Structure 1
Amino acid sequence: MKIAFYGSSLLSSYWNGAATYYRGALQELARRGHEIVFYEPDAFDRQQHRDIDPPEWARVVVYPAAEEAARAVIAEAGQADVAVKASGVGVFDDLLLEGVMAAAPAHALRIYWDVDAPATLAEIGPQPQHPLRRLLPALDLVLTYGGGPPVIAEYERLGARRCQPIYNALDPETHHPVPADPAYVADLNFLANRLPDREARVEAFFLEAAARLPDRQFILGGNGWDDKSMPANVRKIGHLGTAAHNAFNASPLAVLNVARDSMAHVGFSPATRVFEAAGAGACLITDAWEGVELFLTPDEEVLVARDGQDVAEHLRALTPERAKAIGEAARQRLLSEHTYTRRGAEVDTLIRREWAAKRERSPA
């Protein structure tokens, strides 16, 4: 089937944490015979910070961040068998959502793919006239980056016909163990863009741990931290392209994951960083969130922290030998249960089943 996918960016991870998620899921759908066309705006300097060239498994259409250009690519949804509007494109989101779903042919599946479902639901819940909430009953599927049973129940309460989480996963061709790089050797590395709904948690888990361990070294990667005051033992390195992720994750004693506020509150939302770090064999320390054990077993495959004090205590107790054992156990768990091959098979089965059911309802 021809899948028209309207998202933030496939080519760039710059201010775009969903990039590797899109790549993993869509590449696997392409392997399963689907034709992928990805539409992304030229916005937020992402095209100046590309991580990859347009891949052979997808046609990528980059359009100017202008209304006329957005309307032009919306029209191309009329040629699709599956029309997907992702959350968080960043420009003309409502226009794209309403336009793409209206332009898609009658036979096409209409899908909203939410990469931050807890935040989306918090926004649309009090707004009956929100464009997404109004359109929910007309959509065939809502797919989400995570959220588990709470997100499914809330989306269906608001009118979605069906909501299905498609969790992050590991692409072992992209994220895998590599030799340590001296540029990234430290006791704890953390990669995250500075966002309003994450900053307080970064302070509580990462900066507090650094302050408690002045004799240890910490590295912070990601956009937006330049003017943030930090302990002297924290080194800021700015944006880190995906090509450097393996070395960043494989070089320190441990790697930290900190969820955004909404995802931590709802749970069942492992970030891409969890899979990327564990895929590189890193010993992962994550903030506590409900459902973590569905993906990694605490104390065996991941270390779970309630606050910065817990993070500091984990680091004090961690030896290189135990860190290596935890990282390898996590990598093996993900390889056996949580790869994009599995996620792609799940989405492929889902859309083929929904396609057939829709044809039965409207055989003409």
Structure 2
Amino acid sequence: MKIVVIGLSITSSWGNGHATTYRALLKALAKKGHDILFLEKDVPWYAPHRDMPNPDFCETVLYTSNEELYTNYYNEVAEADAVIVGSYVRQGVEVGEWVVNTAKGIKAFYDIDTPVTLAKLSRGDYEYISPELISRYDIYLSFTGGPVLEYLENYYGSPCARPLYCSVDPENYYPEDKPKKWDLGYLGTYSTDRQPTLNQLLNEPAEMLPGRDFVVAGPQYPADINWPQNVERIEHLPPAMHRDFYNSQRFTLNVTREDMIAAGYSPSVRLFEAAACGVPIISDYWEGLTDLFTEGTEILIGRTVEDVIHYITSVTEAERKSIGNNARNKILTAHTAEARAAELLEYLEELSAIAKPHIMANDANV
């Protein structure tokens, strides 16, 4: 298939989780023989942080304006077997309307931020998708599963809403036998709604365990946060360093945004990356988490400060390794990039099969 993706970014992972998601998925599609063009708006804040400026698994183009996009890539979009527009694309409604009016193949919206999107729509904030446009895309690919999918179809009129969770490339994320620098670590960009949970499940345990070592990696944290002395800060950690980071922790923390907790069924890419490295995860709770991982044997749930302290101080080394290995086995079974690419192709093939009879009938009537 010829697939065109218009996404937030594939060249820079700075301050976003989109890049690693696109890289894993498109690399897996390319391995299956598909031809992929990725179109990315060139914006100044990603320019200094392009940690993969020229992916070898797809053609990547930076466009400077929508006019350039419409003029220079009309034919590619018109003739592609599938065109996928991602969430948070700059002027995404305008771009999406151009795609659904131009593309002859399947038109898809890939929402890597579904709960955030639904919250924005409820406020009348149509930054990159509108209710009317949802109904015009052939399929709504959602980072969130569960009841949200039915809501997208019944309330917003999507003709087809399907889950397409994030995934992990096991060639990049795997266990390594490294000295453990930290007892607990966290990787994530600053978010006002995540910070209270980060304080509760990492900073407070750090204050109560002064002899233990902790770490928080990620950009955009305010300078006025008072980190405990035993919490190391890393401003930015490019994906090439994620595996080493995870493997240098005894436990890793997963913290979820409020909108995603409310929606449920919204696993983050960090969750899958850490699990693929065989590092036991302590996570806040949300609906659907225990459908993905079994509590106690594949994941540990931190509801209180005391829970985290108990895991750090009382889980034996054998138990710790077993939990990490069990989570890794679950990832390799169901959440690799190859598995996710297969799901996407299955959706596209189903839509193609539905479309072909209509196209043939229309041709016969011409």
Which residue is 2:93 aligned to?
Answer: 94
CA shift, 1:332, in A, is 1.5
Residue 201 of structure 1, aligned match among 178, 197, 220: 197
Match of 1:306 in 2: 303
Contact 2:120 2:126 in 1 (8 A): no
- Decide whether aligned partners of structure 1 residues 94 and 129 sit closer, same or farther in structure 2, where only a CA change above 3 A counts: closer
Identity of paired residues, percent? 33
Cα deviation per residue 1:285-343 (whole Å; 9 max; x = unaligned)? Answer: 11111111222111111101113332222212223332222111111121123222211
> Which residue identity is paired with 2:221?
W
Counterpart in the other structure of 1:211: 207
Counterparts in 2 of 1:234 and 1:72: CA distance versus 1, 3 Å? farther
- 1:341 aligns to 2:306 (yes or no): no
Task: Choose 135-144 or 28-37, whichever is displaced more.
Answer: 28-37
Instruction: Report matched runs for 1:317-336 at 5 Å.
Output: 317-336=314-333
In structure 2, the partner of 1:144 is 142
Q: What's the TM-score, normalizing by structure 1?
A: 0.92
Residue correspondence of structure 1 range 114-153 to structure 2 within 5 A: 114-127=111-124, 132-146=130-144, 148-153=145-150
Cα offset, 1:70, TM superposition:
4.3
TM-score by length of 2: 0.91
Q: Report the residue type matching 1:63 in the other structure.
A: Y
User: What is the one-letter code of the residue matched to 1:210?
Assistant: A
1:206 deviates by: 2.4
SS of structure 2 residue aligned to 1:143: strand
Cα shift readout 1:243-282 (whole Å, capped 9, x = no counterpart): 1111100111110110111111211111111111111111
2:197 and 2:169 map into 1 onto residues whose CA distance is 28
Q: What does residue 77 of structure 1 align with?
A: 77
| Alignment partners' CA distance in 2, 1:309 and 1:73 | 58
Inter-CA distance 301–12: structure 2 relative to 1 (3 Å threshold): same
Report if aligned partners of 2:93, 2:126 keep a CA contact under 8 Å in 1: no
| Cross-structure match for 1:5 | 5
Q: Which amino acid aligns with 2:62?
A: V
**Runs of 4+ in structure 1 displaced over 6 angstroms?**
none
**Bigger Cα displacement from structure 2, 49-58 vs 300-309:** 49-58
Shift in CA distance, 139/67, structure 1 to aligned 2, threshold 3 Å: closer
Taking only aligned residues, the RMSD between alpha carbons, in angstroms, comes to 2.1
For 1:356 and 1:280, locate their aligned partners in 2 and report how far apart those are by CA, in whole Å.
Answer: 38
Q: Is the 8 A contact 2:146 2:264 kept in 1?
A: no
Match for 2:172 among 171, 174, 197? 174
Further displaced range: 323-332 or 92-101:
92-101
SS of match in other structure, 1:253: strand
Pick which of 299-308 and 272-281 moved more: 299-308
Q: Tell me, yes or no, if the aligned pair for 2:66 and 2:95 is still in contact at 8 Å.
A: no
Which runs of 5 or more residues in structure 1 are unaligned?
none
- 1:223 aligns with 219
- Conservation of the 8 A alpha-carbon contact between 1:121 and 1:154: no
In the other structure, the counterpart of 2:163 is 165
- Residue type of the partner of 2:103? A
How far does residue 134 in structure 1 lie from its aligned partner after superposition? Answer: 0.8
Q: What amino acid sits opposite 2:275 in the alignment?
A: A
Give, in angstroms, the shift of residue 44 of structure 1: 4.8
The Cα shift of 1:189 comes to 0.8
Shift of residue 181, structure 1, vs aligned partner = 5.7
Rounded to whole Å, the distance in 2 between the matches of 1:152 and 1:73 is 35
Distance, in Å, in 1 between the alignment partners of 2:350 and 2:284 is 37
Q: Secondary structure of 1:325's match?
A: helix
Distance 1:72 1:261 in 2: 40
Tell me the SS of whatever aligns to 1:193.
Answer: coil
Using the alignment, how far apart are the partners of 1:181 and 1:193 within structure 2?
25
Deviation at 1:139, TM superposition (A): 1.4
Matched, 1:263 2:260: yes
Equivalent residues of 1:113, 1:144 under 8 A apart: yes
Alignment partner of 1:289 is 2:286? yes
TM-aligned CA deviation for residue 16 of structure 1: 1.6
Q: Residue 28 of structure 2 aligns to which amino acid in structure 1? A: E
For structure 2, the 5+ residue unaligned runs are: none
C-alpha distance in 1 between matches for 2:197 and 2:73:
38
Q: Between 351-360 and 198-207, report the one with greater CA deviation.
A: 198-207
Pick closer, same or farther for the CA change 1:128–1:200 going to 2, 3 Å.
closer
| Counterparts of 1:224 and 1:268, CA distance in 2 | 26
Q: Does the CA-based 8 Å contact 1:189-1:256 persist in structure 2?
A: yes
Deviations 1:95-114 (A, max 9, x none): 22222222213xx1110100
